């Protein structure tokens, strides 16, 4: 259930494995910080190890509950409705339900808090993690400390062993970023809420707030950056590659994501400081393409998830948009020409305007399942993307 409403480390890491050619496994849509080592995680991790362990502990918890238990949090966030979009999160009644639970938790005794945490399922823990991220966005927009504090309390309710703890840290990093804008002493707020949590979760809080400024930075360590949108402030993914564009690639990526979301997809992962793997151009060994990609000023990407009503196996489909700003228009046209070469395992179209180049890639990632898109069907995006790029092409000159 929780995989349908929220994409924690396990889900995105699974996409990393299934959606990217072997030559470039790190270049597909990321889980942001979940696979990035930090001060709080000194050892290496096997892919999916944390979620596998959490799932096993969740099964034992379910057995202790007799196989069925009533939900404490009745509502759920909807992935398809954009509830967990950190650029434009939709209003949700679930927020009020979670905030009421946070206030009850904060007023409870230690014994009562333990009972509350133990009564929550893994599904509900991921609702709390999702609320923490939403609270960071709304805290920024409303300049409201109280909702940020409730977001931190929500994380304090979680039992560390029944989630991938790195998902707690990512949500915590966004809340801390927001708290630094609203409070002269965010560490005090986090330390106080840590006293409500179970010891292993409290340790996560304290290690985080006592870490270096770089460790606490959402851009340096957690794979996000704050951006201003037409809806207000929000968070966009940050992928750690070179990023010195003249054009506003974040704004372009957001506009492309809106174009994608108005079609048959949900634009669920928008990132800047990302790279365009040459393998998608079917020109991995083309020295000219390699030269162009090695000198780009910056890149961005958008991942689209096919809506459930469009295909019986909608999760089998990959839809990725890559955007780069090249050094000059001639280099962008080099990429346009490379994108015209037919590929055996995916469909693609390339669009170039000025020094901006955009590539759309689509394919099925499951053997035996036909691709939803074709070379011809992808052409419906060409005009819209061209219009978006034209608006910003002069900035990239």
User: Where are the chain's structural domains?
Assistant: 2-221, 239-396
Say which DSSP state 167 is in. H
H or E element that contains 298: strand 298-306
* Model pLDDT for residues 211-236, shown as the tens digit of each residue: 999 999 999 999 999 999 998 999 99
Question: Cα angle at 277 between 321 and 239, to 5 degrees?
Answer: 70
Q: Are 218 and 173 in contact (CB under 8 A)?
A: yes
Laid out side by side, the sheet with 265-272 consists of 224-229, 232-238, 265-272, 298-306, 317-325, 356-364, 347-353
pLDDT at 41: 39
- Is residue 22 very low, low, confident or very high in pLDDT (cuts 50, 70, 90)? very low
What integer is the mean pLDDT of 335-355?
Answer: 94
Asked if residue 13 has pLDDT above 60, the reply is: no
Q: Rounded to whole angstroms, how far apart are CA atoms 260 and 380? A: 11
Q: Which residue has the higher pLDDT, 6 or 221?
A: 221
Under 8 Å between Cβ of 248 and 392? yes
SS3 content of the chain, % helix, strand, coil (to 5): 50, 15, 35
Residue found by looking up tokens 């966004």 in the block: 174
- What value does the mean pLDDT take over residues 247-273? 96
User: What per-residue confidence (pLDDT) applies to 81?
Assistant: 86
pLDDT: which is higher, 328 or 43: 328
Q: So what's the pLDDT on residue 79?
A: 87
Nearest to 174 by CA among 211, 138, 142, 132: 132
**Kind of pairing, strands 265-272 and 232-238?**
parallel
**CB-based contact 214:191 (threshold 8 Å):** no
Q: Which tens digits make up the pLDDT trace of 57-95?
A: 999 999 888 877 789 999 999 988 889 899 989 889 999
Q: Which residue has the higher pLDDT, 368 or 34?
A: 368
Looking at domain 239-396, which of 3.40.1350, 3.30.200, 3.40.1000, 3.40.50 is its CATH number? Answer: 3.40.1000
pLDDT tens-place string over residues 195-215:
999 999 999 999 999 999 999
Are the C-beta atoms of 273 and 295 separated by less than 8 Å?
Answer: no
CA distance 34 to 12: 9
Res 284 pLDDT > 90: no
**Out of 88-92, 146-150, 186-190, 281-285, which region has the weakest mean confidence (pLDDT)?**
281-285
pLDDT confidence bin for 6, thresholds 50/70/90: very low
pLDDT of residue 358: 98
Give the range among 19-33, 109-123, 160-174 with minimum mean pLDDT.
19-33
Better pLDDT: 22 or 142: 142
223-249: b (≥16 Cβ within 10 Å) or e: bbbbbeeeeebbbbbbbbeebebebbb
Look up tokens 């939709």; give the residue.
90
Q: How many whole angstroms separate alpha carbon 184 and alpha carbon 33?
A: 26
- What is the structure's pLDDT at 129? 98
- The pTM score is 0.86
The overall average pLDDT reported for the chain is 88
């Amino acid at each position: 259930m929780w995989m349908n409403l929220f994409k924690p480390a396990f889900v995105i890491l699974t996409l990393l494995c299934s959606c990217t050619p072997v030559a470039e496994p790190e270049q597909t849509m990321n889980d942001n910080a979940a696979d990035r080592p930090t001060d709080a995680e000194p050892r290496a991790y096997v892919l999916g190890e944390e979620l596998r362990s959490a799932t096993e502990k969740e099964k034992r918890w379910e057995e202790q509950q007799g196989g069925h238990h009533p939900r404490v949090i009745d509502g759920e966030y909807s992935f398809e409705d954009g509830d967990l979009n950190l650029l434009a999160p939709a209003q949700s009644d679930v927020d009020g339900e979670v905030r009421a639970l946070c206030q009850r938790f904060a007023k409870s005794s230690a014994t009562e808090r333990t009972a509350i945490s133990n009564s929550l399922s893994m599904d509900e823990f991921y609702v709390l993690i999702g609320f923490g991220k939403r609270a960071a966005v709304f805290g920024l927009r409303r300049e409201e400390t109280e909702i940020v504090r409730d977001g931190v309390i929500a994380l304090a309710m979680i039992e560390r062993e029944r989630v991938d703890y790195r998902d707690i840290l990512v949500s915590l990093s966004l809340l801390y970023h927001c708290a630094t804008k609203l409070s002269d002493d965010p560490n005090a707020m986090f330390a106080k809420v840590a006293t409500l949590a179970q010891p292993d979760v409290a340790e996560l809080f304290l290690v985080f707030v006592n870490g270096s400024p770089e460790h606490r930075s959402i851009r340096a360590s957690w794979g996000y950056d704050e951006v201003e949108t037409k809806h207000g402030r929000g968070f966009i993914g940050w992928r750690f590659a070179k990023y010195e564009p003249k054009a506003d690639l974040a704004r372009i990526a957001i506009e492309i994501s809106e174009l994608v979301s108005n079609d048959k997809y949900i634009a669920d992962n928008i990132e800047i400081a990302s790279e365009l793997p040459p393998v998608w151009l079917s020109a991995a060994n083309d020295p000219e393409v390699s030269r162009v990609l090695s000198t780009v000023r910056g890149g961005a990407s958008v991942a689209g998830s096919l809506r459930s009503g469009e295909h019986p196996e909608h999760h089998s489909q990959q839809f990725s948009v890559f955007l780069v700003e090249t050094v000059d228009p001639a280099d962008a046209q080099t990429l346009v020409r490379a994108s015209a070469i037919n590929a055996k395992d995916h469909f693609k179209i390339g669009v170039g305007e000025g020094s901006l180049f955009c590539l759309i890639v689509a394919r099925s990632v499951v053997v035996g399942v036909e691709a939803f898109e074709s070379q011809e069907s992808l052409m419906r995006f060409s005009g819209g993307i061209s219009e978006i790029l034209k608006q910003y092409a002069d900035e990239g000159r």
